[in-house]
Amino acid sequence: MTTTEALSPRGIVDQLDRTGSCARPVRIVSFREGYPEDDRVMLLPCKDRRAAVCPACSHTYKGDAWQVVATGLQGGKGVPTDVGMHPRVFVTLTAPSFGPVHSGSGAGAGTRVCRQSCDTRCVHGVPAACLARHVEGDPLLGQPLCPRCFDYRGAVLWNAHVAVLWQRTAKRVLRYLERSGEAGEGGLRLSYVKAAEFQRRGLVHLHAVVRVDGNDGPDVFPPAWAMSDLVVEALTAVVPEVTTSLPGNGTRGPAAVGWGRQMVATELAGGDEDDDRHMAVAAYVAKYATKTADTTGALAQRIRSASEIAGLAVNDHQRRLVEAAWTLGSDPDFAELRLRRCAHAFGYRGHVVTKSLRYSTTFSALRGARAEYRAKTADPRNQPADDAHFGFAGRGYNDPSVGVLAFHLAQLAITGPERSPSPERGS
């Protein structure tokens, strides 16, 4: 706890130490009835997962995401260790195309031609080819060759239905497995953890670990015939067929949407010798838990009014996606999607990391264990009185410069002596 008066340098260091260098802590007023002069302010970490908002809390969230994935692969924290012998598959599901975009980053950055095509143009006169060799950081990456040809409405509606597509996919894969082994409905359980990744074009990809358990979850082995290769077979058969209908009855566009043509499914073998592979998969999925505007294009804060859109620090393509989501949000046909609430995420309505009920430990359990440890090791002098009451007092430090210091100190500790980005608005 700390008073609202100006702090000395030593006091600032103590304050940052208690909040874990949180960039915008929650200020909680505590007081004892009848003793208004004893009012004090307690700072609690904001627990924001987004690195562009709070590097310190984002780093903690990323570690928790790693534990959630890893314990479902190798056991621990309440999950039996022999879960590592269950059939597992790591799968990536992609979005369909809503118009050609500039590409070429990644392993082939700077060496691969963006788009080779015949000497043709779109209906708006824009060339269908781009012979440039885009390098990492090229602002054209992910932007459409012709913005007027790109289906922004379809892209937003697809993002809004990703969670539904995944739910249908998981159910149909489970039914495929049950039919293949004549297990009967309820004979198997499909457990999973998935992470959403925003591509530069503003569409979501899903990375998921899928595990087959017995009907009672990770404590029970599945039948011997339920192997990883059968899960890959099920995904290969099911994914191209999964669709979900769109509001509006198809009168102003497609009546349904499905997954993109690209799907990658890799078996994860069991046994201790595969531990390195498990940890690599856990790290790969966890890294998407904290990506935001600095790398994915998704904005850090919700859009509150249409007037905010013009002033967003985004490229033209991202602004059009936000505008499309905001406009569709006023259409009665799409009212149930509540698109204006997720316009900052280009229509995506799901969480970044989600899991099935019995996959592994939970974020809540990890936070609870951490809180219990802190309570046991905390200095009693910094604990509120037993008869204290609390109230919300705002966000951030009284001195904004302390928040900026916290942001950059945490960024420096996490990434090393590199130039760290500036905090997002709202910090």
Residue carrying structure tokens 């289906």: 151
Cα separation, 293 vs 306, whole angstroms: 19
Contact 12, 396 (CB under 8 A): no
| Per-residue confidence (pLDDT) for residue 412, from 0 to 100 | 83
Say what the pLDDT of residue 426 is.
Answer: 44
Tokens of 381: 């002098």
Per-residue model confidence as pLDDT tens digits over 272-287: 545 566 677 777 776 6
Average pLDDT over residues 199-226: 91
Burial of residue 33, with CB atoms counted within 10 A of its CB: 0-12 exposed, 13-18 middle, 19 or more buried: exposed
Among 58, 57, 61, smallest CA distance to 44 is for 57
pLDDT (tens digit per residue) in 214-238:
988 899 999 989 999 999 999 999 9
Measured CA to CA, the distance from residue 351 to residue 348 in angstroms comes to: 9
Radius of gyration, alpha carbons of the chain: 24
- CA–CA gap between residue 381 and residue 403 (Å, rounded): 24
Whole-model pTM?
A: 0.83
Taking phi over 0 as left and psi of -120 to 50 as alpha, with beta for the rest, 396 belongs to left
Summarize pLDDT for 15-31 with one digit per residue, the tens: 788 788 899 899 888 76
pLDDT 10s digits, 38-90: 456 778 898 888 777 888 998 888 888 888 888 898 888 999 988 888 999 99
For residue 90, what are its two tokens?
């790591």
Secondary structure element (H or E) that encloses residue 64, with its range: helix 55-74
